[in-house]
Amino acid sequence: MSSLRVVVKIPSSIYPELVADLEGVPLRDRAERLRVLALLGLREAAGRKHAHDHPLAGGCSVPHDQERASRKSPAEKLISRLVDTL
């Protein structure tokens, strides 16, 4: 089984929600919490990509990209950039 080692610094000024969440998790469990959050983010990103491919699915209208980007938090903007590279 292969593995990947990642060392991450999470600035509270940029990701206050994430830092607050991780502060409530025991130190040894934080890496697992990040893995779970990353997987949830990937699933959400895949769902959004699918919804973007089919904007009328579910009867929802999709706002213009510029309007949607202006309302995003820094974390959401980062996720969007990462999704766009998939």
Q: Record the pTM.
A: 0.55
Average pLDDT, the chain: 78
User: How confident is the model over 45-50, as a mean pLDDT?
Assistant: 79
Q: Domain limits of the chain?
A: 16-84
Q: What is the pLDDT of residues 4-42, one digit of tens each?
A: 898 999 999 999 999 999 999 999 999 999 999 999 999
Please name which of 86, 5, 83, 85 lies closest in space to residue 41, comparing C-alpha atoms.
Answer: 83
Quick check: 79 pLDDT over 90? no
Residue burial 9-45, b: 16+ Cβ < 10 Å; e: rest: eeeeeebeebeeebeeeeeeebeeebeeeeeeeeeeb
